[in-house]
Amino acid sequence: MYDVTIVGYGPVGAMLAALLGAKGRKVLVVERDTSIYPLPRAVHMDHEVFRLISLVNADEAVMAISRPTASYDFETADGDLLMGFVPPLELAPTGYPWSSIFHQPTLEKAIRADVARHPNVEVRLGVEFVSYDDSGSDGVRVTFSDDPQNPVETKYLVGCDGGRSLVRRQAGIGMDDLDFNEPWVVVDVLLKEGMDVLHKASRQICDPQRPVTSIPIGHGRHRWEFMLLHDEVDQDMTAPEKLESLIAPQLPDGVTMADIEVERSAVYTFHGVFAERWRDGRVLIAGDAAHQMPPFMGQGLCSGVRDAANLAWKLDAILSGHASDALLDTVQPEREPQIRFITETAIGMGQVVCTHDPEIARARDAEMCAGPREDRISGMPGLPPVESGGAETLNAGLPLAKDPGLDAAAVYQPILIVRSKEDAPDDAGASKVPGLHVAWLEGEGALHDPDGLLAEQLADADALLARPDKIIFGTGKANELLASYVRYLETGNGVAA
């Protein structure tokens, strides 16, 4: 019997498999495609997710082909700035650029390479999910197309199989539609040798004649996204002549169609939808199977990777006997509020972009451009903290600042940070939380914290406890934090009754 069977081997399924594989779990991954998805997908990754993919040794490969976001600008048809977002130049506390543009196939190859290191993870490509039977008390029987007469037995089934998730459909899970459905054609191009970018800023061109997204992926790649007009829904928008008619007017002076090569293109409908439930007993869903958002915040893939990081350690804790099955009930309450914030913000941004009405666009431009240009520029929108399961304490639910030595030592384990070695709990106290890594900020063997970021997160508390997914569980007294964490593992609620 497998510990976990994952349907879908995109970045979310691969991330989940890599994390569980490193924990020694017996995992089966099934994917209907035989290779990495060839059409355009995500291009943006934030610093938190860069830190998470470092847990599966994928950050260096992605960093080599990514570039920090210079700015994210919303412009009128005439090029005036409606609003702009500029990330800080310095690295985030997680040790990575605040916002980066990257090439998704490179990410997927890097995560799959990590999966391949684990002999306890089996991957079957070119195999389709058919159905499951969860009527048994100790697991799920899953039927796949390669051997329909011999269902696979697994303790847990996770659907990471995208927006049309068959796992979600069989579970009978409905969808909450936020009524944002806009079709766009997405095009990735290769630039001629020696040409790195066409422009520096990521741009939303809010032209009512046709809204356009233009993103410099860097390293010789560029992306355009073109909103479909009402009479184009049934047309072949990826035909070469059609793509040329869309791209040519967007090229800067001195650049022609001879300087670029269309690498891939696809038509997508940008949605804002949520699954009503992310769990049905031993069956769970994650990533696009559980939620879909318009791309204007660049958080679709990021949210899915966060799902996997939240889910993997909880499954491992349950399978190890260190946590109750109730811990899985925390995944949706912890993840959904942040994702709803992202989705609603992205829809708000999309409503700025997605209008074909010239009068509405004129009124929008007049209102948003009324003040000085500098007043229309701000930092990148931040994300609210996640519910961490513990009491409301300082920095709870935020990512733990990165210390390279600490990340290398703890990897995907809970971390307790105290002021000095003398403040650390004794072996009996620490053993209450399996796998706990204890570190301190002062004295011999202290963490390297040159910018004081960890000390700032610890603040005046005696101790700080972070979960395996690098989310701060809480701050306070060490023994009380550990007791609260144990309650969280056992009940899904770390707050004392």
Output the pTM of the full model.
Answer: 0.96
Is residue 387 situated within a structural domain?
no
Per-residue pLDDT tens over the stretch 392-437: 688 899 999 999 999 999 999 999 999 999 888 888 778 889 999 9
My answer on whether 293 and 414 are in the same domain is no
Q: Where are the alpha helices (DSSP H) in 418-467?
A: 427-430, 453-458
My answer on whether 312 and 422 are in the same domain is no
* Span 38-43, average pLDDT: 87
Place of tokens 């660049």: 298
pLDDT of amino acid 196 = 86
Q: What is the DSSP string of 231-267?
A: GGTTS-TTSHHHHHHHHGGGSPTT--GGGEEEEEEEE
- Domain with residue 61: its CATH number is 3.50.50.60
pLDDT of amino acid 440 = 95
pLDDT at 496 over 60: no
Q: Are strands 2-7 and 152-159 parallel, antiparallel or unpaired?
A: parallel
Of the residues 314, 331, 351, the one at which a domain ends = 351
Q: Are 432 and 452 in contact (CB under 8 A)?
A: no
Q: How confident is the model at residue 226 (pLDDT cuts 50, 70, 90)?
A: very high
Is residue 132 situated within a structural domain?
yes
Place of tokens 């390279």: 404
* Span 443-448, average pLDDT: 91
Q: How confident is the model at residue 497 (pLDDT cuts 50, 70, 90)?
A: very low
**b/e burial code for range 147-177 (CB count within 10 A of at least 16 → b):** eeeebbebbbbbbbbbbebbbbebbebeeee
Q: How confident is the model at residue 346 (pLDDT cuts 50, 70, 90)?
A: very high
Of the residues 351, 367, 394, the one at which a domain ends = 351
Q: Are 464 and 381 in contact (CB under 8 A)?
A: no
The closest alpha carbon to 486, from 422, 436, 419, 427, belongs to: 436
pLDDT of amino acid 363 = 97
Q: Are 293 and 300 in contact (CB under 8 A)?
A: yes
My answer on whether 338 and 448 are in the same domain is no
My answer on whether 291 and 418 are in the same domain is no
- Total count of domains within the chain: 2
My answer on whether 116 and 22 are in the same domain is yes
pLDDT at 34 over 50: yes
Is residue 189 situated within a structural domain?
no
My answer on whether 339 and 414 are in the same domain is no
pLDDT at 387 over 90: no
* Span 328-353, average pLDDT: 96
Is residue 299 situated within a structural domain?
yes
Q: Are 462 and 422 in contact (CB under 8 A)?
A: no
My answer on whether 413 and 282 are in the same domain is no
Q: Are 214 and 247 in contact (CB under 8 A)?
A: no
pLDDT of amino acid 306 = 98
My answer on whether 145 and 37 are in the same domain is yes
My answer on whether 409 and 340 are in the same domain is no
Is residue 371 situated within a structural domain?
no
Is residue 264 situated within a structural domain?
no
The pair of three-digit structure tokens given for residue 304, joined into one six-digit string: 């899915």
Q: How many Cβ atoms sit within 10 Å of the Cβ of residue 126?
A: 12
pLDDT of amino acid 495 = 61
Q: At what angle do helices 300-319 and 331-353 cross, to 10 degrees?
A: 180
Q: How confident is the model at residue 390 (pLDDT cuts 50, 70, 90)?
A: low
Mean pLDDT of all residues in the chain? 94
**b/e burial code for range 232-251 (CB count within 10 A of at least 16 → b):** beeeebbeeebbeebbeeee
My answer on whether 306 and 449 are in the same domain is no
Is residue 290 situated within a structural domain?
yes
* Span 106-111, average pLDDT: 96
Is residue 223 situated within a structural domain?
no
pLDDT at 445 over 70: yes
Domain range spanning residue 304? 2-66+98-176+273-351
My answer on whether 129 and 23 are in the same domain is yes
Per-residue pLDDT tens over the stretch 196-223: 889 999 999 999 999 999 999 988 999 9
My answer on whether 332 and 416 are in the same domain is no
Of the residues 351, 373, 394, the one at which a domain ends = 351
- Domain with residue 485: its CATH number is 3.40.30
The pair of three-digit structure tokens given for residue 360, joined into one six-digit string: 């509405």
Q: How many Cβ atoms sit within 10 Å of the Cβ of residue 451?
A: 12
